[in-house]
Chain A
Amino acid sequence: MGISRVFVANRGEIAVRVIRACKALSIETVLGVSSADRETMGARLADKVVCIGPARSTDSYLNRQAILATALATECDAIHPGYGFLSEDAEFARLCHENGLIFIGPTPENIRRMGNKLEARSLAKEFNVPLAEGSARLYSADEALETAEQVGYPILLKAAAGGGGRGIRVVDAPEKLKAAFEGASAEAAAAFGDGAMFMERYIGNARHVEVQILADNHGNVIHLGERDCSLQRRYQKMVEESPAPGLSDKLRQQIHESAVTLAKNIGYVSAGTVEFIVDMDRSQFYFLEMNTRVQVEHPITEAVTGVDIVAQQLRIAAGEKLDINQGEVKVEGHSIECRINAEAPLRGFQPSPGRISRWRPPSGSGIRLDSHGFEGYFMPPYYDSLLGKLIVHGKDRQDALAMMEQALAGFEIEGVETTIPFLQYVIVNDDFVTGNFNTRWLEKVATTFLESQAVDS
């Protein structure tokens, strides 16, 4: 392969995932760590570890210059950015190329165009990918009021540069629009340096369905089926599954085709994900955005298709052609992922950092754990709370649910609080088991969970 040493510019479970994928392909790894992350699993597994800065991520994992300098000095030929941090930073991708380093991901142009939701929307429209009814950029609250009259309340206000739930507001009445517009715009300007806003029709009974794309430098684009990621709390996904339940074959196929069409037409390269909102009442789907990186929830797609997405990213970055075609992609069985976060569900999902004093993960056929946790590991308070992802692969959804129930029950963690008790509550809930859920469902379940715990104790 044309890549012999990869600089891993990330931390936590995804750093471990990337290092393992590199090892399997006989690629050496250099891991850049902050001073708080020297004694991590990634640091144990990497061939070389360099401390690139202090705990604060703006000075370490987000420090483009420090990462580039270290990657060059350690003679790496490529950088894997993981997800988050610099993974969707078009300027960083450009600087990699400028310095002769391969950025393991899409082109800077891909990242830039899809990173702006307004531009992504106009591209989707150009290539006939369905868009939720909405607007172009809105320059004022008054303009938003006029547009909302045409679209019809409730509406969704969104920041063009938004992400992670920031810069988004649901507005159900005209008198609330002005304050929501100004608040969301200011929030986006502060968080992303861009206060541009637009509007979409709000879909009440919605599912979040996304399509995994792989594209090489030779014009080949395939999809690896879809994932349902409707179970979100504060726009953070908690449970994901593949395939998505409750879609007709026709709808599923249309969603796949739209995703491939968009990726092909924008000249997309590497692994990426096209996100859609599915209106379950109308059986229609709408383009939401494209994520130009490997997703946290990629393992469920790997489980049902047998394709190693991170290995594919490495091969594509090395200039190789995809070694599978669309006809060879088969979705088998059903996979579910639960995110194990170091959070205290009973205390409003407050982060719960600390030292893990007991760590007994479940294991067995069809169970996979992607985690950087181990007994004795100190989960630092500086970064996100994801401690691991528990993935099961069963012969069907019912089978997968039963496996997940057992796996969660068998996962012993002490020293930090985790989302496991909440996840156990969620996956046996009748609505979830029967597929009667939407993107607002998990918030409600979080409330009933708290009530049930209060009664129990």
Chain B
Amino acid sequence: MTLSEKDVLHILRLVEESSFDSLQLEYGDTKIAVSKSGNFLPQVAQAPAPVAADAPVAPTPAVQQNTEKQDQSPAPGNVAPQPQASAAATASSSLVAVEAPVVGVFYAAPEPGAEPFVQVGSEVDADTTVGLVEVMKVFNGVSAGLKGRIVEICVEDSQLVEYGQPLFMVEPDGGAG
């Protein structure tokens, strides 16, 4: 069971107009946490975003980090800023995304035809190479960054990936789901 984008927008609006500061909602497999004063500010394409209007003039590093978190839209091609429902959902889930360190072309294997670095179910350590991102013939190794198990591969081999785009979802070791 899932919530549609429209549902999420509706929920955000209700929270915005309410006197409540935060809301946590579990609906089937989807968990949503919304907060007006918290570290993440869900921004909606058309809504006036009253929360952010009160934001400090110069964003602190914490806010910036948050901005980057909101950048986890799955596809590189978009036109309008998308509602960040997925980011809100990710924030409360136990999975950790391995993000592209640079923009470039993603490779799942060290060379064409070779076995991929990792597959769904692979156990990884923080320094395990999980893929490569090529920028103009320079290949950048991507490390898992944490110990755990690959549960999802979010991109295709040879696909353009954006800076910060999730490449894999990792279930951290000992991380209760």
Q: Which residues of A contact B (CB under 8 A)?
A: 32, 35-36, 38-39, 43-44, 46-55, 60, 65-66, 68-70, 73-74, 99, 352-355, 357, 375-376, 378, 380-381, 415
How close is B158's CB to chain A, nearest CB, in angstroms? 10
Inter-subunit contact B68/A69 (CB<8 Å)? no
Inter-subunit contact A70/B57 (CB<8 Å)? no
Q: Given A65-B135, A354-B58, list of 16 further CB < 8 A pairs? A: A35-B71, A35-B164, A36-B67, A38-B81, A48-B77, A48-B78, A48-B79, A50-B76, A50-B162, A53-B102, A55-B64, A60-B163, A69-B135, A352-B57, A355-B49, A415-B53
Inter-subunit contact B77/A51 (CB<8 Å)? no
Q: How far is the CA of A65 from the CA of B163 in the complex (A)?
A: 13
How close is A59's CB to chain B, nearest CB, in angstroms? 8
List of B residues within 8 angstroms of A38 by Cβ: 70-71, 81
Inter-subunit contact A69/B134 (CB<8 Å)? yes
Q: At the interface, is chain B mostly helix, strand, loop or mixed?
A: loop
Known: A35-B68, A47-B79, A357-B53. A69 touches B104 (CB 8 A): yes
Q: How far is the CA of A376 from the CA of B71 in the complex (A)?
A: 18
List of A residues within 8 angstroms of B70 by Cβ: 38
Within 37-84 of B, Cβ neighbours of A (below 8 Å) are at 43, 48-49, 52-53, 55, 57-59, 64, 67-68, 70-71, 76-81
Known: A35-B68, A36-B64. A70 touches B103 (CB 8 A): yes
List of A residues within 8 angstroms of B43 by Cβ: 39
How close is A172's CB to chain B, nearest CB, in angstroms? 39
List of A residues within 8 angstroms of B77 by Cβ: 48-49
> Which of B81, B135, B164 has the most chain A CB atoms closer than 10 A to its own CB?
B135
List of B residues within 8 angstroms of A415 by Cβ: 53
How close is A52's CB to chain B, nearest CB, in angstroms? 5
List of A residues within 8 angstroms of B64 by Cβ: 36, 55
Inter-subunit contact A43/B81 (CB<8 Å)? yes
Ordered by A's residue number, 22 sampled pairs between the chains whose C-beta atoms are within 8 Å are A35-B164, A43-B81, A49-B76, A50-B103, A51-B71, A51-B162, A51-B163, A51-B165, A52-B103, A52-B163, A65-B136, A66-B102, A66-B135, A69-B103, A69-B105, A69-B135, A70-B103, A73-B104, A354-B57, A355-B52, A357-B53, A381-B59
